[in-house]
């Protein structure tokens, strides 16, 4: 039985993914701690700091399946400490006195921080894989619907024609920037921690920096210039970047949600027979995937302040930030991955209702194209005078009904300045999408960070 939605049998896949739950599971967390201890023993055995035979035994026994996690948990409760019980458990399973040499010169936070970074690396790989899939889907939509005219909206109102390809290309370029952010962030975030009690490596008699360098080569992590026990800016950056990524997933989901409303009906998230919209209204075709993604994006956004708050750590060690990170980092990854994965499914099977897009271009009887009329008149009357004239005509049409074409044909200020053919051309929404297609081509031609 789960008390939180990420681990819920019923709701877990709405708020997380199986892959991310595995990465941040208890078993994976302990295994990552053991991975760090095993790598440390290997390096120190090779340098002659600890006996090579002891190092080999530690590496052989550094497997979570050899430990009793219930017993480990009981010891954590008794000692109020996460790593000492692990060291005692390892001493039991290691032959001879090998267990005496585990954790040589290290401190608890070294193991926890580096273990977390290994999990973060796995989590970022998963998120990046899904973000690339989302980017690919959205680029595909941009290319496919490059020239499909639709209403562009501002302030929630019809503004001017765009193309659906143009809208999707805006999403794609945002996602491409996120892939760049993930790539650039890795060198700052995927850095190991091995610094000793207060960061000076005093326990290793001058060999500490060499051990540190070899350890992180072994683990495939960056080597810190100096301890980051109380420098949590990389975790803060991680929190903010993932919140931004989830935010874009939420933004796209919200756009689909809005454009799926019955009166608009230009987009619809994938629908399959059996998907139920309401327990009492059988006709409903709701957007539950998009609604969940929006909720996830809002939840992830609330974690960014927690990550930033951890920057304010005290003195040379501060367990408060560790406890805080232990709580929010798994949630950050689980919910971000869930949001992106769901949008991969939505964009991969998105129903694009082009007939409704065409229909909605004309619901205001020409008012959508007031700008080209104003610009044409402005060439001879001046822009401000043209705006005043077209504004008055548009407001009359809006309030009294009719069409913009009829009103323009009847307006004394227009007669003799614009022919019917001129007006028809200006009020064709397909002829006023600007350079939308060229922008789509530019976006689709761009390459994301490798």
Q: Domain coordinates of the chain in residue numbers?
A: 108-358, 367-426
Q: What does each C-alpha distance from 131 to 6, 248, 273 come to in angstroms?
A: 20, 11, 28
Q: Which of 155, 272, 279, 315 is catalytic?
A: 155
**Active site (annotated) includes residue 430:** no
- Would you state the pLDDT for residue 79? 96
- Would you state the pLDDT for residue 77? 95
If 0-12 CB within 10 Å is exposed, 13-18 middle and 19+ buried, where does residue 428 land?
middle
- In order, the DSSP letters of 111-124 are HHHHHHHHHHHHHH
* Average pLDDT of every residue of the chain: 95
User: Residue 448 has what DSSP assignment?
Assistant: -
**Token couple for 389:** 């004239």
- Would you state the pLDDT for residue 279? 66
Whole-structure pTM over 0.85, yes or no? yes
**CB-based contacts of 342, cutoff 8 Å, min separation 6:** 249, 253, 289, 292, 293, 296
- Would you state the pLDDT for residue 271? 84
Contacts 24+ apart (CB under 8 A), 410-418: 413/381, 413/389, 414/377, 414/389, 417/377, 417/380, 417/381, 418/373, 418/376, 418/377
Helix (H, G, I), strand (E, B) or coil at 197: coil
Which one of 3.40.1190.20, 1.10.287.110, 1.20.200.10, 1.10.760.10 gives the CATH number of domain 108-358? 1.20.200.10
Write b or e for each residue in 64-87: b if 16 or more Cβ atoms lie within 10 A of its Cβ, otherwise e: beebeeeebeebbeeeeebbebbb
Which positions of the chain have pLDDT values less than 50? none
**Active site (annotated) includes residue 155:** yes
**Token couple for 219:** 């683990």
Fold of the domain spanning 367-426: Ribonucleotide Reductase Protein R1; domain 1 (1.10.40)
- Would you state the pLDDT for residue 415? 85
User: Residue 231 has what DSSP assignment?
Assistant: -
What distance in Å separates the CA atoms of residue 340 and residue 297, rounded to the nearest whole number?
Answer: 10
Q: Which of 187, 278, 419, 430 is catalytic?
A: 278
């Amino acid at each position: 039985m789960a008390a939180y939605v990420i681990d819920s049998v019923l709701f877990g896949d709405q708020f997380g993914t199986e892959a991310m739950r595995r990465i941040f599971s208890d078993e994976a967390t302990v295994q990552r701690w053991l991975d760090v201890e095993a790598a440390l023993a290997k390096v120190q055995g090779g340098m002659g700091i600890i006996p090579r035979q002891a190092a080999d035994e530690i590496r052989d026994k550094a497997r979570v399946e050899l430990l009793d996690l219930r017993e480990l948990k009981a010891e954590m409760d008794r000692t109020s400490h996460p790593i000492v019980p692990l060291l005692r458990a390892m001493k039991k399973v290691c032959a001879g006195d090998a267990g005496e040499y585990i954790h040589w010169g290290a401190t608890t936070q070294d193991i926890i921080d580096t273990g977390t970074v290994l999990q973060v690396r796995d989590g970022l790989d998963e998120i990046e894989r899904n973000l690339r899939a989302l980017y690919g889907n959205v680029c595909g939509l941009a290319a496919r619907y490059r020239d499909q005219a639709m209403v562009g909206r501002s302030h929630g109102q019809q503004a001017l024609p765009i193309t659906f390809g143009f809208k999707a290309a805006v999403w794609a370029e945002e996602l491409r920037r996120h892939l760049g952010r993930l790539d650039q962030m890795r060198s700052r975030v995927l850095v190991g921690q091995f610094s000793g009690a207060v960061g000076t490596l005093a326990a290793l008699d001058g060999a500490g920096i060499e051990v540190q360098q070899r350890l992180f080569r072994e683990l495939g992590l960056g080597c810190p210039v100096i301890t980051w026990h109380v420098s949590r800016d990389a975790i803060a950056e991680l929190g903010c970047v993932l919140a931004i990524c989830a935010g874009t997933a939420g933004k796209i989901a919200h756009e689909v949600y809005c454009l799926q409303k019955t009166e608009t009906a230009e987009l619809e998230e994938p629908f399959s027979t059996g998907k139920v919209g309401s327990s009492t209204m059988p006709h409903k075709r709701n957007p539950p995937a998009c609604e969940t993604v929006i909720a996830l994006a809002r939840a992830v956004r609330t974690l960014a302040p927690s990550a930033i708050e951890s920057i304010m750590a005290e003195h040379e060690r501060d367990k408060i930030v560790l406890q805080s990170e232990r709580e929010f980092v798994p949630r950050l990854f689980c919910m971000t991955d869930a949001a992106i994965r769901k949008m991969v499914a939505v964009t991969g099977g998105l129903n694009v209702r082009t007939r409704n897009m065409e229909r909605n271009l004309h619901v205001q009887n020409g008012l959508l194209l007031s700008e080209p009329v104003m610009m044409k008149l402005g060439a001879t009357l001046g822009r401000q005078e043209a705006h005043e004239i077209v504004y008055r005509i548009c407001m009359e049409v809006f309030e009294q009904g009719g069409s913009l074409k009829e009103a323009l044909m009847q307006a004394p200020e227009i007669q003799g300045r614009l022919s019917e053919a001129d007006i028809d051309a200006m009020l064709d929404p397909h002829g006023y999408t600007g350079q939308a297609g060229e922008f789509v081509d530019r976006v689709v031609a761009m390459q994301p960070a490798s």
